[in-house]
Every structure is written in structure tokens, then in C-alpha cells.
């Protein structure tokens, strides 16, 4: 896939990797590496989750690196720098192997969560640390993992659940150090108007597009409530860029109990409104499992052919 804007094809992204691992029996919610725990300890289970998403016929699967960094692998699993880098590098291989085994036409996006994700306390949902960090500090912190993932040659980098304009700007500046790498950037928002940290979403998205005219192929939101997607994306309408949205199932993370509040529900009923809003990259985040992705595939296929 060349990820051009010349066709109207909707690209289906997978669902929530961490929550699906949890559903399949791996305790990830209280683990400092989240889904990355499977990268270290449960590679077969990780491959099974990737496989179930591939068999649900998504076009892109994400690696288990959202909450994983070289430092936290060294700290929590007592690995050397070299071993930690190898684990991160292998995340792309594990995903790619599943796709090859399934002989599927599917692409690999390497997940990069925000600084707050590595704090393992839900900080990505408010970005409280943003004001105490500089752009250069963000770049320095994000560089080692991005360098390893770029070397592993995924099809894309997924900068995801980014809570603030400043961290987003740092990430797109950092991406310029890897000129052959393309990616998407999706913000986290807790309402219909602003990033989780409080900047108008329109300004935050515009800044990403301005700073990265070529490398960022899509801008949007993820792990937001499914009802907020259309109003958020509509505020980006002036931007000459593809849009991406992969909401959670309407759940909120409770850092006190380390669980999701609310039962959550299906995002499938919202999918047609996303296509109508001009969103090209559509998928699911937390509590969206392979069965739901399969349903979304059917909706996209039937609705796209009708349009």
C-alpha cells in the first residue's frame, strides 16, 4: 500500500491490543508495560491476538509497543540495553510473521504511546506533565524507541493517544530525523473540543499538518468515546490531510482501581457516521475486540460499495 490520498478506500485498523490480551487471559492492566508484557513473556498469545485481528480482515495491525520503552524494559525486566532494543525490534517481526503465515494483505504500524503512557497511571488521558517538559526533552525521551522501530521497518509509525499539542509537535519534529518513515498521529481527547491537555483540537491538528507536510499521512483521534469522534474530526475539516479515528468502546480508565469504568458498548453503530464524516482510517481502541472488528469490516464493505 502506498497510503496515497488518491482513492476513497476506507482502511480498517485493528482493535484494542491490550484489552484483547486481557480478554484472552493475560493480566495486563496492572503491568507497567501494558500489552508490552506479552512481547516479553507471552509471544504466542500476542501472535494469536494479531492473528485474530488479521483474520477479522483488518488492513493494519499495531505492534505491542504502546507502553514499552528501552528504559522500562531494563527497569522492570532487568534486561540489558541491547536485549531491550531487540524486544522492541521483534515487535514488528512478530506482527509481520503472522501476516505472512496468514498470507494476508495487511500492514504493520509500530505503536508509539506518549510519555504519559510509560508512567503507567493513565497520564495520557490528561497530559498533566506537558507544561513541565520542553520540546527537546520530549524528543530526547521518544528518540531511542523510535530509532529501533524505524530500523525494524514497519509500514507506518502510529503516534497514538497523544494528549497535547506540544508532545505532538515534538514527535513530528523527531520524525524528521527518520526521513524515510511515514506515520499517523492521533490525539486523545476527553471532550468534543480540546486535546486531553486542553488545547483546541483544531489548533493541535493544524500544527501537526503544518510541521509535517509529507511524513504524517493522517491526523485524528483515538481511545476517545465513540460519540465524540465526528464532532472532533469536523473541527479538522479545513486541513488538507486524511483523517483517522479509532475510538474505545465508550469506557474510561480509572487509575485508582486500574480498571475500565463503564461496561462499554459496541462502536459498530457509529461506523457509517465516520465514513460520512470523511474519515479514511477507521478502527477500534480499548475494549474493541476481533469480533467487533469483523463486524466493522462487514459494515465498511457493504456501505462503501453502496456509496
Per-residue x/- track, 231-260, Zn ion (CB under 5 A) = -----------------x------------
Q: Does 201 interact with Zn ion (rule: CB under 5 A)?
A: no
Q: Does 288 interact with Zn ion (rule: CB under 5 A)?
A: no
Cα–Cα distance measured from residue 137 to residue 215, given in angstroms and rounded to the nearest whole number: 22
Least separation, in Å, of the C-beta of 281 and Zn ion? 15
Q: Which residues contact 239 (CB under 8 A, 6 or more apart)?
A: 205, 206, 209, 219
- One residue of 26, 106, 206, 223 binding Zn ion per CB under 5 A: 223
* CB neighbourhood size of 215 (10 A): 18
Binding residues: 223, 285-286
Q: Does 285 interact with Zn ion (rule: CB under 5 A)?
A: yes
Cα–Cα distance measured from residue 40 to residue 264, given in angstroms and rounded to the nearest whole number: 29
The answer to whether 292 and 250 are in contact (CB under 8 A) is: no
* CB neighbourhood size of 151 (10 A): 14
- Number of alpha carbons in the 13 Å side-chain half-sphere of residue 290: 16
Q: Note the helical H segments in 152-241.
A: 165-175, 201-211, 229-234
Interface with Zn ion: number of residues (CB under 5 A): 4
Pairing mode of beta strands 252-254, 259-261: antiparallel
- One residue of 118, 286, 296, 300 binding Zn ion per CB under 5 A: 286
Binding residues for Zn(2+): 223, 285-286
Cα–Cα distance measured from residue 245 to residue 59, given in angstroms and rounded to the nearest whole number: 14
| Closest to Zn ion by CB, 20 or 215 | 20
Least separation, in Å, of the C-beta of 242 and Zn ion? 21
| Closest to Zn ion by CB, 194 or 222 | 222
Per-residue x/- track, 32-51, Zn ion (CB under 5 A) = --------------------
Least separation, in Å, of the C-beta of 153 and Zn ion? 25
| Closest to Zn ion by CB, 85 or 124 | 124
The answer to whether 167 and 114 are in contact (CB under 8 A) is: yes
Least separation, in Å, of the C-beta of 182 and Zn ion? 22
Least separation, in Å, of the C-beta of 302 and Zn ion? 26
Q: Does 13 interact with Zn ion (rule: CB under 5 A)?
A: no
284 DSSP 8-state letter: -
Q: Does 221 interact with Zn ion (rule: CB under 5 A)?
A: no
Cell readout for 286 is 480499548
Grid cell 520503552 is found at: 69
Least separation, in Å, of the C-beta of 191 and Zn ion? 17
Contacting positions for Zn ion (CB under 5 A) = 223, 248, 285-286
Amino acid at each position: 500500500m502506498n497510503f496515497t490520498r488518491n482513492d476513497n478506500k476506507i482502511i480498517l485498523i485493528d482493535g484494542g491490543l491490550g484489552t484483547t490480551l486481557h480478554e484472552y487471559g493475560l493480566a495486563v492492566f496492572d503491568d507497567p508495560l501494558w500489552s508490552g508484557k506479552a512481547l516479553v513473556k507471552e509471544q504466542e498469545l500476542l501472535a494469536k491476538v494479531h492473528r485474530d485481528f488479521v483474520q477479522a480482515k483488518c488492513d493494519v495491525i499495531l505492534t505491542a509497543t504502546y507502553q514499552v520503552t528501552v528504559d522500562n524494559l531494563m527497569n522492570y525486566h532487568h534486561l540489558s540495553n541491547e536485549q531491550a532494543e531487540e524486544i522492541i525490534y521483534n515487535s514488528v517481526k512478530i506482527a509481520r510473521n503472522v501476516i505472512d503465515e496468514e498470507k494476508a494483505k495487511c500492514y504493520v504500524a509500530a505503536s508509539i504511546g506518549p510519555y504519559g503512557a510509560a508512567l503507567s497511571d493513565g497520564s495520557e488521558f490528561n497530559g498533566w506533565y506537558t507544561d513541565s517538559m520542553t520540546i527537546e526533552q520530549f524528543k530526547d525521551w521518544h528518540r531511542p524507541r523510535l530509532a529501533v522501530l524505524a530500523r525494524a521497518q514497519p509500514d507506518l509509525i502510529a503516534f497514538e493517544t497523544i494528549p497535547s499539542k506540544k508532545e505532538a509537535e515534538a514527535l513530528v519534529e523527531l520524525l524528521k530525523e527518520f526521513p524515510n518513515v511515514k506515520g499517523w498521529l492521533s490525539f486523545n481527547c476527553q471532550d468534543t473540543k480540546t486535546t486531553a491537555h486542553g488545547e483546541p483540537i483544531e489548533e493541535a491538528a493544524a500544527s501537526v499538518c503544518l510541521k509535517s507536510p509529507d511524513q504524517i499521512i493522517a491526523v485524528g483521534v483515538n481511545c476517545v468515546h465513540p460519540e465524540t469522534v465526528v464532532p472532533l474530526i469536523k473541527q479538522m475539516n479545513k486541513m488538507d490531510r486524511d483523517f483517522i479515528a479509532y475510538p474505545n468502546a465508550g469506557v474510561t480508565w480509572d487509575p485508582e482501581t486500574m480498571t475500565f469504568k463503564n461496561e462499554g458498548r459496541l462502536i459498530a453503530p457509529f461506523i457509517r457516521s465516520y465514513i460520512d464524516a470523511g474519515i479514511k482510517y477507521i478502527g477500534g481502541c480499548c475494549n474493541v475486540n476481533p469480533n467487533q472488528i469483523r463486524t466493522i469490516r462487514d459494515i465498511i464493505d457493504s456501505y462503501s460499495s453502496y456509496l
